[in-house]
A and B are shown apart, each in its own frame.
Chain A
């Protein structure tokens, strides 16, 4: 029996934690939620997720910095950044840093499913 794939959500906003968590669980993922990048990074050695969904403006570092930290640790985990106050240059920076996607809140569900479903290897129509 295949174990559920782990996706980590890093976002201090409880509403986002709940909604994104619920969405990803609906896609069949196991979800762990962290409010800060530090908590998430501290947890990393025990379980490496198949995907990270992170707010681009975390309390302790930017989403781009988190992305760079993962790369520095040699972890090419697909990372999706979310942003409530996105601008074009921020989005471009994130993409240049290697983000899988950069999604504007609150219109995240459709885009998230589009990106995450292939990673989870599920039929993404199910969640539509």
Chain B
């Protein structure tokens, strides 16, 4: 408020009689108020009296800002002073909406037009005030309506885009702005295609828009089209468009709604991709999966199920009883039925290998694992499981087994080869004795004076013994080198070691090594392939011989001993030679690793695989006092 302003005396308007002016002011519909340069009211017409609730007599001379609520009230004096000082008007000649205050303190919206009374010095101002309460309410309703619509549009999370006939943006909602990354202001009036369609698609988009407007196409663009965002990213939008017409029915533009489906499409593609991955993985693994409700209910089989079983996917999953009765190999039906029964009643799990027969008659080995759980409604049992075609694996396993058996056989032959000198000797000695005895007998018969037949008895007995001796060696040799499938039987290891003596001793004898055997009586029997165990033992003895020969100063003796141990029976081959260097120990069991000039390097590797196949272990430890002890253990017979 300007306290320095001098109060000005009311001045009579010039040129017209006061009463005429008075009547004119009082007839005016709008409130008319005149103030002086200090903001004091000098004129207050009848309409103003009605509008504000003041009588002219009580308000004239008061500051005009009593007609305003705060904060306008305080600000007003400043406006007037500022205008007088600078000549810059905030309101003069413009008119604006303001909030006014009645005598009773109530407020109302009003439009205010202000003019400067010309020629008055100091200046006076005349204001016309119109109550716009009713108009304002209408506008506010409209605005609210618009805002609500806008918020619907925004809530819909859909882009709304209106283009004029040239493709300029007439309207875009908040979601649209959000998607393309511009503000509404930036976009309005811009060419949509230029701004928001990737360059490569612009010509097509423009042509599409034209043909849509021309009515030759149902859509301005692809149902899903890419838009270009401010930061250069692409978004996939699913569009729906309609033409916009004026009241006369002329086409004035297009209105499109667009939904950002980028993520959804990506997720869908990912799903499709992962489904196809799963399908490929199942095909590669030959692993099908299924979910079946028993007794009734939906059944799902993956593609691979049909492929494994050789069935047509169009015919759908086979019911479980039909599966057991028709698809499963006749020999395996009872077993599967039993296992299914057990899974239903007790275990809740199935883990079974069985054979199936395809419609073309070929059979496959399959492995099924499943879990049995009650369904959510408790009405049925849900079986969720996998079916794995393990035919190829079984074949491979068989091949590996056969390969292993072949290798084992080759190993035996190699061991025999190394022992051949000793064995040849072992067979040749009795043959020599036989021939010599027989020839001596002939000479005795031919000798002058003849020979008593009783004298021939000794050579003949000896011939028999020696023939049996040679035969025994050959028999064992044949049994040992014969190519044979693995055959497990109950084995007394002590007996096996004794039997082996015939094969092992020649080798030790010709190499001038003493072989002693120390057996612990009454050891538990083991389950083993006797020939393979003999092979391991011979191999260990051979190695012990070689080690002994390489250590000229070592005692030339090898001990084979059997003992009962915690995990079964241990057979040890003890030498007194130089022991094993660490770098050799590391490679000891590696195939083809050998320290022998004539070795294959397979002996120990094969021996270990044999012992492992027998669920035993093969190892070595230093012999107390020098040398190496190789040993293997075999588990006792179950229940023994």
> Are any A and B Cβ atoms less than 8 Å apart in their complex?
no
Interface residues of A (CB under 8 A from B): none
